[in-house]
Amino acid sequence: MEGSEEKKFEELLELPKSMDISDFDNYINDYLKRKADKNLAIQELDRILAVLQNHITSLSLYLKQNHIICKHKFSSENTEVEFYTKQDIAAKYRVSIRTVTNWIIDGLETVEIGGVKRISSSALNAFTKIKQTKKFSWKSIAK
């Protein structure tokens, strides 16, 4: 099974090597010759490429979230530390993503894992303890 999966990945990696820009340009020109409306054909090709790009981005995010981050989980005193996104934190505390961004500016520590900023559960716990003891003086905009 591993050999066939490895072969699939190798085939995927060979795709960009097998078609350079001039080949792609020839393909587009041949495609446009077969179509009656060239503008519609270009829009169709652009849509197909956008779908492929979104699919590749989704696969990359899946890999980062489910495999790279898992490798960065570590045990400290028999407790496993988890990592969260800003969206996860916003949903957990029922605040906006902008509020979480402000918390990061205010000192909530983040870690970059696989090119994506994450917040560890220990950093989140430390930050919430600080915020609970800190007094805020809210200024009213009403006079």
For the chain, domains (ranges, CATH) are 2-72 (no CATH), 79-133 (1.10.1660)
Average pLDDT along the chain:
78
Q: What tokens were used for 16?
A: 């960009």
Q: What tokens were used for 122?
A: 């220990």
The burial of 83, by beta-carbon neighbours within 10 Å (0-12 exposed, 13-18 middle, 19 or more buried), is given as buried
**C-alpha radius of gyration, the chain, whole number:** 24
Beta strands in 1-143, from DSSP E residues, in sequence order:
75-76, 79-80, 83-84, 111-113, 116-120
User: Residue 67's pLDDT is what?
Assistant: 67
How far apart (Å, rounded) are the C-alpha atoms in residues 108 and 119? 8
User: Is the distance from CB of 62 to CB of 70 less than 8 angstroms?
Assistant: no
Cβ neighbours around 79 below 10 Å, total: 10
User: Residue 138's pLDDT is what?
Assistant: 46
User: Residue 143's pLDDT is what?
Assistant: 45
Q: What tokens were used for 12?
A: 């995927």
User: Is the distance from CB of 64 to CB of 115 less than 8 angstroms?
Assistant: yes
Per-residue pLDDT tens for 37-85? Answer: 988 988 988 898 888 888 888 887 777 766 665 555 554 455 567 888 8
**End-to-end Cα separation, the chain, in angstroms:** 72
